[in-house]
């Protein structure tokens, strides 16, 4: 029953928001809902695996199964941290029809929670789409200038992916012995190797687009750039994790043979993506696009590590799911503050932040070094383990991917130099005192960055059961 | 022991937090006292640790598990033994003096920046201590990148200056290139041995598990890491640029401590390095080449700090030569003596720059001898020490390396002596141009010339004493000494099996190298006693003055092409090809939809359907499997 809270709190709050018009209450309701969800998340982390099971669509024999093991818990925690953080940090931004905006955000949260909790394939698909649809409205109504074209591309692209997945689900479902969407039944579906490979490919496309894996990534920088920053934060901190989560929850257990058979090609594509995105990030002038490409590179490493199918790398990826979310969230919040106050995202026009806003500059430097996985920041542990698995998979591939360690330093330090250092530029000179709430959120996040960087063991312990399921046969 | 080590490490960290978080609250006096006091406290505890090792031998302390998964365990564990306790003393000892010096040198900074400076400096000491105390390669790597971070922050300390920022970035990125090598070595070790702890990696059993290819690859990759941190060919160009940072930073980080991390790493891993002949040769050749290359450049530089920077690169080259020929204790010896005299020289340079109101060009100095008496004397002692004149410290350590080089291959020795001669020459060129002859600066500068305050001269005096006498820790048996240092290092290096030269040969070699150095320094003094170097006239002069054009080479052969490549990816591949294909597919579908509208309505749904179908067809070709078709057939017929 408890797991239902993760769906009910955001949905009920979203409904309530439709009837609240007063600006000051609107934000308070969203933040309160977010914090309650966070409390609930902390609660399930402290406890053992819990699950919930109810009848849903008896005709199809699909059940409303929710379950939370390690990988689900760590992503629920990330989601539960991200939303209130976003609400608090961007609460002062001018947004028309804010109650609708926040209601849609909360619906997205419910969809994401559902994705991470669903133990039934049809239910998973349902939430997968539920998470996408509010985002479509958020981007196309509140987005930037080119929002219509960009959102359309984003929507069609990811929607297409989900359709493939649906076909894949049905393909397996029709061949299950007991006509059920439960993971266990799908796992033992009576399919030929060819069918299994097809179903694998159908699932994979959906996840690959979502993450995204090179060369299916071009929707992402555009979408990140054009979405309102609050939505960008959701997209890159949490939503991309849907694809990675899908690999861990569905792809690895359902198609062990096809997974291994395609490991080479996916690892290689992922590594190409890492280098490709890193190189492009070097040439970005737009702060948001830079973070977007940097994020593609980081996600590429995670997908490569998962597909090595080596325990140490999967462990790294599980931890990194969380850490990457915290880090990009921090970077986006800073980028948003800069854009809101200077009116530009062009790094050429920025500069001198360290002189004008020392605290913000220090935070920017902190998150930047987390972004390049400096030891004792949270990203180091995950990346270290993931590179280890890549090395065991193939030393040459690991060395190639390792070049991104250098490239990341290049584009991140370029960014720091252009934004934070130098004399105060006219754009930065316009900045007012930074909103205390946003600053408080950043400080909390940076504490998380260093705490989990120095002492990551709780994250390992949290995800240990998932790892055991995957690797102890 | 657990508590002592914790204090050694936590004092600097406390200083970092105190000054970093309180930068807007404390007065400059508080900041200075705390920052320096914490490092002195750390030094005191380091002495305790050192004494503990002397009486009770090495100790390992475990705090918590950094990473503990089913497949890999990396504890947060420290080791104090003869090697790390010596480094502790050097780091915190020289560190304390440089903190003290900084309190006066940086006094013109505003309090928040003053605090920021000391916070970085304290964080540096903290990271450096992690580096040498760690009991496994991962903790070493944490410190390794940590010192890189602090170096970055301190080089770019005056962050409004674009050139300085560029230098800071260059330092970090070049170090990262090396770090990748280090990382790959760690991955290799984990892959083959499943652990990174020194206690299990650096043993004969582990060595037996590794093939010779493994050992060569691991050691070469570790050496790549060392090249970055310790500024060896080809990754040395960041170090001279790093002089953009405040001068005490150059003294502490870019001369005395951080840059010697590579030597520490290789000495720590000596059992691996000694097992690979190939790597040893590579280390020796890179070392001697760097020593010579940097020395030739130093001869033509006119910036007081640049000369010292190239001299550092050159001296580091000597240390690597020592490592390559198996003279590990000689290399460590040179690390220690170099830490004293190079810190001394940099701080002396800082004192000169301070007196000259931030003038760094030695051509505009001259005759400072009488105006800055303490700086002059101490600087002279530093020059004598680095030139290798007995009985000053540099003589003993350099001689030990050269003797071992001779035993390995006389060519190494000959080149080493050539480098030593150049060292003596450029150091005394620097000394004579700066301190002798007539003052060549502006009248205004001359009027303001003054000796530095006590907080700056005291470190100079102490370091000068150390530079003069530190050779005592390694007096060779040849001269009736016991070589205390190599006795100390036996637990780490094993029984010395170094030099097999007769005493006679040793005396002759020593005589040759000392006399050549003395001749070189006398020439330098006589040439530069009266006048400064003019602008270079010859092609060779220009070539050296422009540092062999290596920066330009890197810029044109590596940086620019990669930048162009990135631009090509961004503008052509990403925009036109990949995204073009995506948008093209969309347009194609739209176009088809328009055609099909003649028979159908042309809704969004329609073209999604067509996209689905076309991709299904693709799958049919791909997997060559009709099951999906029969499945779809079934599906449509059911409904």
The residue ranking higher by pLDDT, B448 or A203, is: A203
In a domain, B541, yes or no: no
Minimal Cα–Cα distance from A70 to chain B, Å? 14
Q: Does the beta-carbon distance from B579 to A218 stay under 8 Å?
A: yes
Give the lowest-confidence range in A12-26, B127-141, B221-235, B489-503.
B489-503
In a domain, B34, yes or no: yes
Q: What percent of chain B has pLDDT over 70?
A: 92
Q: Domain residues for B508? A: 283-473+483-530
Q: How many Cβ atoms are within 10 Å of B367's Cβ, its own excluded?
A: 16
Flag whether pLDDT at B616 surpasses 70. no
- Which chain B residue's Cα is nearest to A463? B69
Q: What is the pLDDT of residues B565-576, one digit of tens each?
A: 988 888 888 888
A133 touches chain B (CB under 8 A): no
Which of B251, B275, B299 marks a domain boundary?
B275
Which one, of A321, A327, A323, A334, lies nearest residue A288 by Cα?
A: A334
In a domain, B538, yes or no: no
> Domain map of chain A by residue range?
1-157+214-240, 262-473
SS3 B465: helix
Do residues A277 and A216 touch, judged by C-beta distance below 8 A? Answer: no
Partner residue opposite B176 with nearest CB, options A174, A355, A409: A409
Q: Name every residue whose Cβ is closer than 8 Å to that of residue A467 and which is 6 or more positions away in sequence.
A: A70, A311, A314, A315, A318, B69, B70
CA distance B133 to B76: 10
Question: Are B574 and B504 in the same domain?
Answer: no
Q: Does the beta-carbon distance from A414 to B169 stay under 8 Å?
A: yes
Do residues A121 and A185 touch, judged by C-beta distance below 8 A? Answer: no
CA distance A90 to A238: 17
Q: Name every residue whose Cβ is closer than 8 Å to that of residue B410 and which is 6 or more positions away in sequence.
A: none
The answer to whether the bond into B234 is cis (omega within 30° of 0) is yes
Q: Which residue has the tokens 């990341």?
A: A408
Do residues B269 and B323 touch, judged by C-beta distance below 8 A? Answer: no
Do residues B374 and B461 touch, judged by C-beta distance below 8 A? Answer: yes
Residues of chain A with C-beta less than 8 angstroms from the C-beta of B67: 381, 384-385, 456-457, 460
Do residues A280 and B570 touch, judged by C-beta distance below 8 A? Answer: yes
Which one, of A309, A307, A128, lies nearest residue A206 by Cα?
A: A128
Q: What is the pLDDT of residues A44-67, one digit of tens each?
A: 888 776 788 888 888 788 888 898
Question: Are B297 and B419 in the same domain?
Answer: yes
Do residues A325 and A234 touch, judged by C-beta distance below 8 A? Answer: no
pLDDT value of residue A149: 84
Q: What is the pLDDT of residues A83-106, one digit of tens each?
A: 999 999 988 877 888 888 999 999
pLDDT value of residue B575: 84
The per-residue pLDDT of chain B, averaged, comes to: 88
Give the DSSP H or E segment for A3: none
Q: How far, in Å, are A389, B297, B300, B533 from residue B541 at the CA level?
A: 51, 9, 7, 11
Q: What is the pLDDT of residues A389-415, one digit of tens each?
A: 999 999 999 999 999 999 999 999 999
In a domain, B548, yes or no: no
pLDDT value of residue B221: 96
Question: Are B447 and B525 in the same domain?
Answer: yes
Question: Are B43 and B98 in the same domain?
Answer: yes
Give the lowest-confidence range in A337-346, A372-381, B577-586.
B577-586
Flag whether pLDDT at B630 surpasses 70. no
Q: Identify the band that residue A328 occupies on the pLDDT scale cut at 50, 70 and 90.
A: very high
Supply A140's token pair: 């196309």
Q: Identify the band that residue B617 occupies on the pLDDT scale cut at 50, 70 and 90.
A: low
In a domain, B373, yes or no: yes
Rg of chain A on CA atoms, in Å: 21
pLDDT value of residue B8: 93
| DSSP string covering B78-119 | EEE-HHHHHHHHHHHHHHHHHHHHHHHHTTTS-HHHHHHHHH
pLDDT value of residue B340: 95
Q: How much is the average pLDDT of B528-540?
A: 80
Q: How much is the average pLDDT of A329-340?
A: 93
Minimal Cα–Cα distance from B159 to chain A, Å? 5
Q: What is the pLDDT of residues B46-68, one digit of tens each?
A: 999 999 999 998 899 999 999 99
In a domain, B544, yes or no: no
Flag whether pLDDT at B84 surpasses 90. yes
Flag whether pLDDT at B480 surpasses 80. no
Q: What sections of B388-502 are H helices per DSSP?
A: 393-408, 410-435, 443-448, 454-469, 484-488, 490-493
Supply A367's token pair: 């998150």
Q: What is the pLDDT of residues B319-329, one digit of tens each?
A: 999 999 989 99
Question: Are B501 and B570 in the same domain?
Answer: no
Question: Are B123 and B142 in the same domain?
Answer: no
Q: Does the beta-carbon distance from B566 to A467 stay under 8 Å?
A: no
Which of B275, B305, B337 marks a domain boundary?
B275
Helices first, then strands: H and E counts in chain B: 30, 2
Do residues A192 and B627 touch, judged by C-beta distance below 8 A? Answer: yes
Give the lowest-confidence range in A173-187, B208-222, B385-399, B594-608.
B594-608
Phi, psi (degrees; rounded to nearest 5) at B482: -115, 0
Q: How much is the average pLDDT of B75-103?
A: 94
Question: Are B266 and B293 in the same domain?
Answer: no
CA distance A185 to B493: 61
A215 touches chain B (CB under 8 A): yes
Q: Does the beta-carbon distance from B176 to A156 stay under 8 Å?
A: no
Q: HSE (CB half, 13 Å, CA atoms) of B404?
A: 24
CA distance A379 to B39: 30
pLDDT value of residue B309: 94
- Which chain A residue's Cα is nearest to B613? A164
Do residues A449 and A370 touch, judged by C-beta distance below 8 A? Answer: yes
Do residues B453 and B104 touch, judged by C-beta distance below 8 A? Answer: yes
Residues of chain A with C-beta less than 8 angstroms from the C-beta of B72: 312, 385, 388
Q: How much is the average pLDDT of B143-161?
A: 93
In a domain, B614, yes or no: yes
Q: Identify the band that residue B545 occupies on the pLDDT scale cut at 50, 70 and 90.
A: confident
Q: What sections of B106-259 are H helices per DSSP?
A: 111-133, 137-155, 162-193, 198-201, 204-209, 212-229, 238-241, 247-251
Flag whether pLDDT at B626 surpasses 60. no
Flag whether pLDDT at B624 surpasses 60. no
pLDDT value of residue B622: 52
Flag whether pLDDT at B639 surpasses 70. no
Q: How much is the average pLDDT of B390-414?
A: 92
Residues of chain B with C-beta less than 8 angstroms from the C-beta of A422: 159-160, 162, 165
Minimal Cα–Cα distance from A399 to chain B, Å? 7
Question: Are B124 and B3 in the same domain?
Answer: yes
pLDDT value of residue A473: 62
Q: What percent of chain A has pLDDT over 90?
A: 57
pLDDT value of residue B272: 93
Rounded to 5 degrees, what angle do the CA atoms B151, B153, B158 make? 120
To test the contact with chain B by mutation, choose from A175, A217, A373, A421 the residue with the greatest count of B C-beta atoms within 10 A, namely A421
pLDDT value of residue B597: 59
User: What distance, in Å, lies between the first and last C-alpha atoms of chain A?
Assistant: 30
Q: HSE (CB half, 13 Å, CA atoms) of B130?
A: 25
User: Domain tally for chain B?
Assistant: 4
Question: Are B451 and B513 in the same domain?
Answer: yes
pLDDT value of residue B154: 94
CA distance B128 to B89: 12
To test the contact with chain B by mutation, choose from A381, A392, A409, A415 the residue with the greatest count of B C-beta atoms within 10 A, namely A409
Question: Are B249 and B299 in the same domain?
Answer: no
Q: Which long-range contacts (CB under 8 A, 24 or more apart) does B188-195 make?
A: B188/A391, B188/A395, B188/B214, B188/B217, B188/B218, B188/B221, B189/B137, B189/B218, B190/A388, B190/A391, B190/B72, B191/A388, B191/A391, B191/A392, B194/B71, B194/B72, B195/B73, B195/B136
Q: What is the pLDDT of residues B488-510, one digit of tens each?
A: 888 888 876 655 678 888 899 99
Question: Are B367 and B303 in the same domain?
Answer: yes
Question: Are B86 and B229 in the same domain?
Answer: no
Residues of chain B with C-beta less than 8 angstroms from the C-beta of A423: 160
Q: Name every residue whose Cβ is closer than 8 Å to that of residue B33 and which is 6 or more positions away in sequence.
A: none
CA distance A409 to A391: 21
Do residues B347 and B463 touch, judged by C-beta distance below 8 A? Answer: yes
pLDDT value of residue A50: 77
Q: Which residue has the tokens 């160009």?
A: B237
Q: What is the pLDDT of residues B340-351, one digit of tens each?
A: 999 999 999 999
A422 touches chain B (CB under 8 A): yes
Residues of chain A with C-beta less than 8 angstroms from the C-beta of B145: 374-375
Supply B309's token pair: 């920077």
* ipTM for the predicted complex: 0.93
Which of B275, B308, B340 marks a domain boundary?
B275
Q: Does the beta-carbon distance from A406 to B70 stay under 8 Å?
A: no
CA distance A7 to A37: 9
């Amino acid at each position: 029953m408890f797991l239902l809270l993760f769906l009910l709190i955001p949905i009920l709050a979203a409904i309530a928001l439709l009837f609240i018009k007063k600006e000051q209450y609107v934000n308070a309701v969203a933040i309160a809902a977010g914090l309650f969800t966070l409390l609930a998340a902390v609660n399930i982390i402290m406890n053992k695996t819990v699950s919930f099971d109810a009848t849903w669509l008896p005709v199809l024999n699909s059940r409303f199964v929710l379950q939370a093991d390690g990988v689900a818990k760590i992503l629920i925690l990330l989601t539960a941290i991200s939303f209130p953080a976003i609400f608090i940090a961007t609460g002062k931004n001018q947004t028309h029809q804010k109650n609708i905006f926040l209601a849609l955000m909360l619906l997205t949260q419910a969809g994401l929670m559902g994705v991470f909790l669903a133990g039934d394939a049809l239910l998973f698909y349902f939430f997968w789409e539920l998470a996408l649809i509010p985002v479509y409205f958020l981007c196309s109504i509140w987005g930037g200038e080119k929002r219509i074209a960009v959102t359309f591309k984003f929507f069609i692209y990811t929607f297409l992916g989900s359709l493939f997945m649906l076909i894949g689900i049905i393909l397996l479902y029709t061949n299950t012995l007991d006509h059920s969407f439960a993971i266990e039944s799908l796992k033992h579906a009576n399919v030929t190797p060819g069918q299994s490979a097809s179903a694998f490919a159908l699932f994979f496309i959906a996840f690959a687009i979502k993450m995204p894996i090179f060369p299916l990534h071009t929707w992402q920088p555009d979408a990140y750039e054009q979405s309102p920053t609050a939505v960008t934060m959701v997209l890159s901190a949490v939503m991309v994790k849907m694809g990675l989560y899908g690999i861990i929850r569905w792809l690895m257990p359902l198609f062990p043979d096809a997974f291994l058979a395609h490991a080479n090609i996916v690892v290689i594509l992922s590594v190409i993506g890492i280098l490709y995105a890193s190189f492009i990030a070097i040439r970005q002038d737009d702060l948001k696009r830079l973070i977007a490409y940097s994020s593609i590179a980081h996600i590429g490493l995670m997908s490569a590590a998962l597909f090595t199918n080596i325990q140490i790398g999967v462990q790294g990826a599980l931890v990194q799911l969380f850490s990457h979310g915290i880090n990009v969230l921090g970077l986006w919040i800073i980028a948003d503050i800069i854009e809101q106050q200077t009116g530009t995202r062009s790094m050429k026009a920025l500069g001198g932040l360290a002189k004008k806003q020392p605290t913000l500059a220090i935070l920017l430097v902190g998150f930047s070094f987390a972004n390049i996985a400096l030891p004792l920041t949270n990203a180091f542990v995950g990346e270290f383990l993931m590179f280890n698995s890549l090395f065991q998979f193939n030393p040459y591939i690991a060395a190639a991917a390792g070049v991104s360690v250098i490239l990341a330093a290049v584009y991140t330090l370029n960014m720091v130099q252009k934004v934070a250092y130098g004399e105060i530029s006219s754009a930065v000179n316009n900045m007012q005192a930074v909103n205390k709430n946003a600053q408080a959120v950043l400080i909390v996040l940076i504490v998380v960055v260093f705490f989990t960087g120095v002492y990551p063991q709780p994250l390992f312990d949290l995800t240990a059961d998932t790892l055991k399921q995957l690797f102890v046969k | 022991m657990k508590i002592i080590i914790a204090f050694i490490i936590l004092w600097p960290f406390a200083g970092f937090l105190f000054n970093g978080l309180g930068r807007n609250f404390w007065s400059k006096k508080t900041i200075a006292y705390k920052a320096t006091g914490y490092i002195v406290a750390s030094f005191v505890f380091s002495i305790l640790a050192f004494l503990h090792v002397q009486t009770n031998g090495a100790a390992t302390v475990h705090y918590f598990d950094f990473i503990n998964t089913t497949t890999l365990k990396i504890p947060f564990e420290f080791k104090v033994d003869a090697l790390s306790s010596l480094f502790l003393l050097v780091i915190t000892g020289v560190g304390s003096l440089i903190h003290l010096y900084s309190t006066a040198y940086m006094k013109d900074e505003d309090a928040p920046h003053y605090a920021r400076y000391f916070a970085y400096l304290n964080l540096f000491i903290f990271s450096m201590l992690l580096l040498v105390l760690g009991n496994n390669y991962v903790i070493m790597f944490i410190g390794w990148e940590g010192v890189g971070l602090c170096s970055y922050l301190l080089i770019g300390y005056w962050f409004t200056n674009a050139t300085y920022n560029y230098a800071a970035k260059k330092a970090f990125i070049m170090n990262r290139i090396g770090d990748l090598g280090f990382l790959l070595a760690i991955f290799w070790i984990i892959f083959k041995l499943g652990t990174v702890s020194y206690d299990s990696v650096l043993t004969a059993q582990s060595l037996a598990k590794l093939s010779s290819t493994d050992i060569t690859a691991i050691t070469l990759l570790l050496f790549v890491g060392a090249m970055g941190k310790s500024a060896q060919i080809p990754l040395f160009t960041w170090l001279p640029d790093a002089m953009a940072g405040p001068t005490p930073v150059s003294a502490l980080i870019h001369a005395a401590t951080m840059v010697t991390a590579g030597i520490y790493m290789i000495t720590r891993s000596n059992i691996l390095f000694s097992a690979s002949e190939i790597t040893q040769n590579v280390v020796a050749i890179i070392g001697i080449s760097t020593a010579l290359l940097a020395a030739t450049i130093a001869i033509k530089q006119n910036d007081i700090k640049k000369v010292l920077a190239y001299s550092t690169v050159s001296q580091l080259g000597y240390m690597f030569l020592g490592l390559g020929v198996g003279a590990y204790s000689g290399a460590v010896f040179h690390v220690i003596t170099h830490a004293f005299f190079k810190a001394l020289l940099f701080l002396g340079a800082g004192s000169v720059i301070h007196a000259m109101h931030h003038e760094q060009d030695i051509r505009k100095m001259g005759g400072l001898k009488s105006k800055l008496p303490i700086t002059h004397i101490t600087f002279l002692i530093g020059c004598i020490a680095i030139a290798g004149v007995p009985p000053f410290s540099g003589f003993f350590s350099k001689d030990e390396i050269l003797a071992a080089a001779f035993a390995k291959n006389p060519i190494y020795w000959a080149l080493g002596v050539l480098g030593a001669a150049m060292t003596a020459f450029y150091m005394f060129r620097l000394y004579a141009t700066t301190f002798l002859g007539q003052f060549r600066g502006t009248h205004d500068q001359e009027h303001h010339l003054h000796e530095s305050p006590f907080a700056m001269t005291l470190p100079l005096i102490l370091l000068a004493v150390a530079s003069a006498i530190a050779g005592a820790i390694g007096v060779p048996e040849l001269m009736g000494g016991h070589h205390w240092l190599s006795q100390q290092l036996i637990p780490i290096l094993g029984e010395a099996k170094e030099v097999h030269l007769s005493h006679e040969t040793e005396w002759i070699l020593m005589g040759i190298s000392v006399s050549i150095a003395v001749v070189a320094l006398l020439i330098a003094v006589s040439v530069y006693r009266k006048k400064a170097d003019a602008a270079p006239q010859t092609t060779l002069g220009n070539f050296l003055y422009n540092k062999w054009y290596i920066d330009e080479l890197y810029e044109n052969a590596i940086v620019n092409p990669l930048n162009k490549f990135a631009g090509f990816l961004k503008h052509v591949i990403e925009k036109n090809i990949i995204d073009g294909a995506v948008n093209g597919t969309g347009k194609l579908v739209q176009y088809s939809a328009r055609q099909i509208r003649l028979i159908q309505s042309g809704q969004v749904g329609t073209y999604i359907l067509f996209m689905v179908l076309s991709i299904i067809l693709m799958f049919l070709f791909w997997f060559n499997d009709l099951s999906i078709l029969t499945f779809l057939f079934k599906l449509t017929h059911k409904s």
